[in-house]
Amino acid sequence: MKLAGVRAVLFDLDGTLADTAPDLARALNRVRAEQGLAPLPPAIARPYTSSGARGLLKAGFGIAPGSESYAALRDRFLDFYEEELCVETRLFDGIPELLAKITVRKLPWGIVTNKGKRFTEPLLRSLAVDHLAACVVSGDSTAHIKPHPAPLLLAASLLKLPPQNCIYIGDDLRDAQAARAAGMHFVAAGWGYHGEGGDPNTWDADAVLTHPQELMKLL
């Protein structure tokens, strides 16, 4: 199956382009240690990674943004994460080769993430892909975060392309919702975290991939 009219490829970051779960889990466990709690096994934290601080604090402390202690724990978690941003984080297997093939095809690619710019930009530098991305839209680049379409629409405008000529690849239900609302093609990253959205086969994706390089068959 080929997707018609694709002239650019946009990626979610956590759980799609890069496996950030180990470093985020370590930051969470540093907060738990301060609170006198035992470490949370990485396998338990991992599915919550795509939901960022909100998801990980839910996994680690059973709290939501409205909770009294949420803001203080969130700030502590983010400070710890910033200190050790790219210790174990790696691009997923197959992503470097996929980016090379996209480049050979002369398709621009970019990143749209709910992660704040404070983390996104240094992380992409550490992964040595910051200079390759045609656009990077972080969680504070617009007034809204995914599932709102604003970040994806900003990415399309930065690429000077209509949204319908872009494909977005993500591992969370919110990624699918944002892509549909923006009028973009959506492909689910079957190798990702999937989080609270459950089974990506239920997300109305154009395709669910098991490996990054399968994307080339769609372009």
Give the distance, in angstroms, between the CA of residue 153 and the centroid of all CA atoms in the same chain. Answer: 16
What span, in angstroms and rounded, lies between the C-alpha atoms of 113 and 136? Answer: 8
Q: Which of 14, 23, 172, 175 is catalytic?
A: 14
Q: Which of 12, 19, 23, 172 is catalytic?
A: 12
| Alpha-carbon dihedral 107, 214, 153, 12, rounded to 10 degrees | -110
Look at residue 174 and give its three-state secondary structure: helix
Active site residue 19: no
Cα–Cα distances in angstroms (integers) from residue 79 to residues 85, 93, 180, 214, in the given order: 10, 28, 33, 37
Active site residue 171: no
Active centre residues (catalytic)? 12, 14
